[in-house]
Amino acid sequence: MDDRYIKIPSGCGLSGIMSKNGGLFSGEKIIISICNMKERGNGLGSGFASYGIYPEFKNYWCFHIMYNEERAINITENYLKEKFKIIHSEPIPTKKLNTLSFIPLLYRYFLDFKEEFIENGISEEDFIIKVVMFINRNIENSFVFSSGKNMGIFKGVGEPDEIAEFYRIYDYKGYIWVSHNRFPTNTVGWWGGAHPFGILDWSVVHNGEISSYGINRRYLENFGYFCTLFTDTEVITYLFDLLHRKHGHNFEIIGNILASPFWFQIERVEDEDYRKFLKILRIIYGPCLINGPFSIIVANSEYMIGMTDRIKLRPLVYGEDEEFYYISSEEAAIRIVSKEIKKTINAEAGKPVIFKVKWQK
């Protein structure tokens, strides 16, 4: 039997690579890594996110938008013209592949703010989120799937090597790369539902399934985040933006919110102040708790973070060499791209591992 049809109980494949000093490197490295785990997918979704790929437009917000029909293009572009100055727009460069089907129309837009919106007192980030949510909820057949600065998400329905070839990932150079090979469980396989998911400069890839999706989604709606892409992973992206950017929590605290210890574990914490702190987090942020098996890689313009659920039902491995940090579902996907790997460490349940770029002087 073809290996593609053997279901892997531990699910999807994740891979992330970060240059320690922010140096740019080709997408070929991440392609090799994720394609080493092709048996973790079944061709129903793959994708890549990269940072530093648009240096000539680095000061502008970049929207990647997929359209399911041509009529949606004019409607969306007229809306964007109302809200922004469009500095540059074009179809996302792709390569024709006969193995891919149901391909949407794919465009990218580099956007600057109009003065009247800056004067309204809303932050740039909050304004971007409002625009993304409006398009994804109200403009039929139009979906913003990437909305950061100097970064981009490229995803679709196909094997990772097919999606890499389609988007010509090898032509891009970035200082962080994150990738995903999907084995859909409870959600449909479609172009917008492939990973990574993103908002602003966040990108998230996820192995597992979220049984708390309903309560997570309803909680986020109170803060203006709406899930429209029919995949449970979307809530993780918005939770990171809410908890880190809006509420100001560091990633260790976010780990204790999203993968909170069980109540009996909290009661066993010896430090009284820390025990009280964990209880307060659990009470205030109960709707943010992610139930179900998961391992995730989360990135933004400065960090790459790996984390599993609180009993580690999905695998995650960390590694580093002289130049790079690595996070992957399997050690083999790290060693295939690094012959000088110092060591690899298996993730600890519910504890985020945080890598930060140390910029070259």
Q: What is the pLDDT of residues 28-67, one digit of tens each?
A: 999 999 999 998 888 889 999 999 999 999 999 999 999 9
Is residue 160 a part of any domain in this protein?
A: yes
- Predicted pLDDT of residue 184: 61
CA distance 144 to 108: 9
| Contact indicator for 198, 29 with CB cutoff of 8 Å | no
Contact 13, 195 (CB under 8 A): no
pTM of structure: 0.94
In angstroms, rounded to a whole number, what is the distance separating the alpha carbons of residues 65 and 140? 12
CATH of residue 151's domain is 3.60.20.10
Q: Are 329 and 317 in contact (CB under 8 A)?
A: yes
Encoded amino acid at 236, one letter: I
Is residue 141 assigned to a domain?
yes
User: How many domains is the chain partitioned into structurally?
Assistant: 1
Question: What secondary structure letter does DSSP report for 149?
Answer: B
The string of DSSP letters for 120-147 reads: TT--HHHHHHHHHHHHHHHSTTEEEEE-
Residue 241 in any domain: the answer is yes
pLDDT at 5: 56
Of 252, 248, 243, the closest CA to residue 199 belongs to 243
Answer whether residue 361 is part of any domain: no
Is 335 part of a structural domain of the chain?
A: yes
Determine, yes or no, domain membership for 250. Answer: yes
Q: Give the residues of the chain that fall short of pLDDT 50.
A: 1
pLDDT tens-digit profile of 99-137? 998 999 999 999 998 876 665 778 999 999 999 999 999
Just list the catalytic residues.
12
Residue 34 has a pLDDT of 97
The span from the CA of 294 to the CA of 239, in Å, is 15
How high does pLDDT run on average in the chain? 93
Residue 119 confidence (pLDDT): 59
Beta-strand relationship, 202-208 and 294-299: antiparallel
Residue 272 CA to residue 266 CA, distance in Å, equals: 10
pLDDT at 235: 96
209 in any annotated domain: yes
Q: By residue range, what is the domain housing residue 16?
A: 3-356
